[in-house]
Amino acid sequence: MIEAHLTVDRDFEIGPLDRRLFGVFVEHLGRCVYTGIYEPDHPTADADGFRQDVAGLTRELGATLVRYPGGNFMSGYDWEDGVGPHDQRPTRLDLAWFSTETNQVGTNEFMSWCKQQGMEPMFGVNLGTRGADEARQYLEYCNHPGGTTRSELRRSHGVDAPHAIKLWCLGNEMDGPWQICRKTPDEYGRLALETGKLMKMVDASIELAACGSSAYDMPSYGVWEDRVLEHCFEVVDYLSLHSYFVKPPNDPSTASFFAQIESNARYIEATVAVVDAVAARRHSAKRIMLSFDEWNVWYRARHGEHMKQEGWPQAPSLLEEVYNVEDALLIGGMLTMMINHADRVKVACLAQLVNVIGPIMTAPGGPAWRQTIFHPFALTARHAHGMVLRAVIRSPGWTDAKQGELPYLCASVVHEAASGKTAIFLLNRNLEQEMALTVNLRGLGGEQRLIEAQQLQHADLQACNTEAEPDKVRPAPLAGIVIEGETLRVRLQAASWNVIVTKAIASS
Work out the widest C-alpha separation in the chain, in whole angstroms.
73
Please say if 294 is a catalytic residue. Answer: yes
User: What angle, 0 to 180 degrees and rounded to 10, lies between the N-to-C axes of helices 132-143 and 149-156?
Assistant: 50
Q: Are 380 and 22 in contact (CB under 8 A)?
A: yes
114 near 66, Cβ under 8 Å? yes
Return the amino acid letter for 112.
Answer: S
Q: How far apart are CA 494 and CA 488, in angstroms?
A: 19
β-pair partners for 348: 292
Residue 23 dihedral angles phi and psi, to the nearest 5°: -90, 165
Please tell me the distance from the alpha carbon of residue 384 to that of residue 2, in angstroms, as a whole number.
Answer: 27
Query: Distance (Å, rounded) from C-alpha 329 to C-alpha 357?
Result: 16
User: Are 146 and 155 a contacting pair, CB within 8 Å?
Assistant: yes
Q: Which residue in 39, 101, 120, 173 is the catalytic one?
A: 173
d(CA 254, CA 252): 7
Q: Prior bond to 69 cis, omega within 30?
A: yes
C-alpha of 434 from chain center:
30
- Given a contact cutoff of 8 angstroms between Cβ atoms, the answer to whether 463 and 424 are in contact is no
Residue 368, Cβ density class (10 Å: 0-12 exposed, 13-18 middle, ≥19 buried)? buried
Q: Active site residue: 140, 194, 294, 326, which one? A: 294
Residue type (1 letter), 305: E
| N residues, the chain | 508
Cite the active site residues: 173, 294
